[in-house]
C-alpha cells in the first residue's frame, strides 16, 4: 500500500472573518490543519493618513488620529499632540496633563477590555466578551459626558485638552473605579482561571525576548515576552514620572511557556489594575487651573524634525514629524504597535494549527485600522 498522500492546500481566511478583528485577510497554506505559511494581506482599511497629514494644518490632523486606532482614540490624540508640542516647544498646563493621563488610562482600560474579551470570544467563550463590553460601556458613558463622543473622542488639543471635566465627573470616575476594581477578579474567575481557556493558550506560539525585539514587538506583546520596558517609565512623558505604578511582564503564567499567548493576555489583565492605580493618583492630586496653553492660531513650528513615541494600549505609537516652517507638516510617518504585531504572525504561526492562529491574532491584539492607517 502506498503511503497516504498529503498536499499543501491554499486556503483563504478573511477579510470578513469573525476572528480577524477588523478587515484582515490571510492566505494560508495548510498541511491538513497545520499551518505551513500564513501570509497576511493588509491594506483594506488604508486611508492614506500620512498623506492627509501633509495636506491639513497641524491642529486639523487631530480628528484623523482618532481613526488611527479607534479603540484607543485618546492615546492616539495624545501622541499627536505631544509630537507637535515637542516640535513647537509648547508647555502644557498641569491640569491638562492630569486630564490627559486620566482619560488615556481610562481609554487603556476600555481598549484592554475589548482585547481580552475578544480573545475569550475567539476561544469560544462568549460570556466574558459581554462582561467586558458591559464595563467598557460605563467608560464610554464617562467619555460621552466629558466630550460628547463615545468612540472618536478628539479630546486632546495641541497644548492642552478640549474641555474641562463637568461638575461631579471626577467623583463618577472614582465611582467607576470602585465598581470596576473587584470586577477584574470576577472576570478572572469567569475566564482567566478556566481550564479550557488556559490550555488553549499557555503553550501556544511563544515569542522569545530576542525575537520580540528583533521583530519590533512593542507594548504588552513585548512585555509578555518578559522584557520589562514601558515608555511611560523608561522614556517618560507628561506627568508619568510623578506617578507610581508597576510594569507587569510575562513569566510563564499557569506553568506555561514564557511569551506564550497566555502571557500576553495576562499582561493586559495585570495592566488593568495598574491603570486603576494611576487614575486614582491623578484624581487625588489634580490641580485647578488652565486646560489649554497659549498656542498661535496658525501654528508654524520652526524647521526641524522629531520622533516622539508614547505608550498606547497596543504599545509604542511613534510620530516622526518633519516641519519646514509651514502650517502643514512636510512629512508625518506613523509607527504603530499593530503593524509590527502583524508582521510577526507569518513567522510565528508556522507549525501551529489553524485554531491556534486565531489565538495568536487575538493575543497579539492586532487591530486593522492601526495596521493600515
Partner 1 sequence: MATPAKIAERVQAQFGPAVLETVLEGRLPHLVVEAGRLQEVCAFLRESPELKFDFLSAVAGVDLGEQLQAVYLLYSYAHHHAFTLKVNVPRDNPVVPTVSGIWPAADWHERETFDLMGIRFSGRPDLRRILLPEDWVGHPLRKDYKFPESYDGITLRRDEEDWPDPGAEELYK
Min CB(244)–partner 1 separation in Å:
21
Query: What CA–CA distance (Å, rounded) separates 173 from 71?
Result: 19
Nearer to partner 1, 190 or 213 (CB): 213
Nearer to partner 1, 278 or 368 (CB): 368
Nearer to partner 1, 238 or 256 (CB): 238
Min CB(222)–partner 1 separation in Å:
9
Nearer to partner 1, 117 or 219 (CB): 219
Nearer to partner 1, 59 or 117 (CB): 59
b/e sequence 250-289, b meaning 16+ C-beta within 10 Å: bebbbebbbbbbbbbbbbbbbbbbbbbbbbbbbeeebeee
Query: What CA–CA distance (Å, rounded) separates 198 from 53?
Result: 43
Tell me the CA distances in angstroms from 338 to 36, 234, 260, 271, 342, one per residue in order: 23, 21, 17, 18, 6
Tell me the CA distances in angstroms from 228 to 36, 112, 232, 235, one per residue in order: 32, 19, 12, 13
Query: What CA–CA distance (Å, rounded) separates 54 from 234?
Result: 31
Residue carrying the nine cell digits 511611560:
232
Min CB(307)–partner 1 separation in Å:
5
CB 35 within 8 A of CB 357: yes
Min CB(106)–partner 1 separation in Å:
27
Tell me the CA distances in angstroms from 255 to 192, 198, 203, 251, one per residue in order: 14, 10, 9, 9
Nearer to partner 1, 164 or 235 (CB): 235
Min CB(5)–partner 1 separation in Å:
30
Q: Which residues are at the interface with partner 1 (CB under 8 A)? A: 42-43, 46, 48, 50-51, 55-57, 60, 86-87, 213-216, 227, 229, 234, 298, 304-307, 309, 316, 318, 320, 322, 327, 331, 333, 335, 339-340, 342-343, 347, 372-373
Min CB(327)–partner 1 separation in Å:
7
Min CB(236)–partner 1 separation in Å:
12
Nearer to partner 1, 59 or 248 (CB): 59
Nearer to partner 1, 272 or 321 (CB): 321
CB atoms within 10 A of CB 298: 9
Nearer to partner 1, 14 or 256 (CB): 14
Min CB(218)–partner 1 separation in Å:
9
Min CB(303)–partner 1 separation in Å:
9
User: Chain-centre distance of CA 19, in angstroms?
Assistant: 17
Nearer to partner 1, 29 or 277 (CB): 29
Min CB(185)–partner 1 separation in Å:
33
End-to-end CA distance of the chain: 55
CB 70 within 8 A of CB 110: no
Amino acid at each position: 500500500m502506498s503511503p497516504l498522500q498529503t498536499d499543501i492546500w491554499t486556503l483563504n481566511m478573511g477579510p470578513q472573518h469573525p476572528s480577524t478583528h477588523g478587515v484582515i485577510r490571510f492566505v494560508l497554506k495548510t498541511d491538513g490543519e497545520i499551518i505551513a505559511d500564513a501570509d497576511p494581506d493588509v491594506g483594506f482599511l488604508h486611508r492614506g493618513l500620512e498623506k492627509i497629514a501633509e495636506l491639513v494644518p497641524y491642529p486639523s490632523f487631530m480628528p484623523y488620529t482618532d481613526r488611527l486606532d479607534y479603540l484607543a482614540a485618546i492615546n492616539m490624540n495624545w501622541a499627536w499632540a505631544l509630537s507637535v508640542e515637542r516640535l513647537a516647544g509648547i508647555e502644557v498646563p498641569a491640569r491638562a496633563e492630569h486630564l490627559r493621563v486620566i482619560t488615556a488610562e481610562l481609554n487603556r482600560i476600555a481598549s484592554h477590555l475589548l482585547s481580552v474579551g475578544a480573545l475569550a470570544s475567539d476561544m469560544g467563550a462568549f460570556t466574558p466578551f459581554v462582561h467586558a463590553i458591559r464595563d467598557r460601556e460605563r467608560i464610554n458613558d464617562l467619555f460621552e459626558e466629558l466630550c460628547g463622543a463615545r468612540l472618536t473622542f478628539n479630546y486632546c488639543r495641541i497644548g492642552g485638552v478640549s474641555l474641562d471635566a463637568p461638575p461631579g465627573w471626577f467623583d463618577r470616575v472614582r465611582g467607576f473605579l470602585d465598581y470596576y476594581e473587584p470586577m477584574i477578579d470576577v472576570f478572572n474567575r469567569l475566564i482567566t482561571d478556566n481550564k479550557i481557556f488556559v490550555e488553549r493558550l499557555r503553550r501556544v506560539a511563544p515569542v522569545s525576548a530576542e525575537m520580540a525585539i528583533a521583530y519590533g514587538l512593542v507594548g504588552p506583546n513585548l512585555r509578555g515576552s518578559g522584557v520589562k520596558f514601558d515608555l511611560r517609565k523608561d522614556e517618560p512623558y507628561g506627568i508619568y514620572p510623578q506617578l507610581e505604578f508597576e510594569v507587569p511582564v510575562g513569566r510563564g503564567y499557569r506553568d506555561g511557556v514564557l511569551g506564550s499567548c497566555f502571557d500576553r493576555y495576562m499582561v493586559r489583565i495585570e495592566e488593568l489594575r495598574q491603570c486603576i492605580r494611576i487614575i486614582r493618583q491623578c484624581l487625588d492630586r489634580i490641580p485647578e487651573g488652565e486646560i489649554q496653553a497659549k498656542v498661535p492660531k496658525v501654528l508654524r513650528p520652526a524647521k526641524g524634525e522629531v520622533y516622539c513615541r508614547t505608550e498606547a494600549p497596543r504599545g509604542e505609537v511613534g510620530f516622526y514629524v518633519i516641519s519646514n516652517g509651514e502650517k502643514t507638516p512636510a512629512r508625518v510617518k506613523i509607527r504603530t504597535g499593530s503593524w509590527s504585531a502583524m508582521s510577526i504572525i507569518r513567522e510565528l504561526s508556522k507549525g501551529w494549527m489553524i485554531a491556534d492562529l486565531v489565538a495568536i491574532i487575538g493575543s497579539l491584539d492586532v487591530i486593522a485600522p492601526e495596521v493600515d492607517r
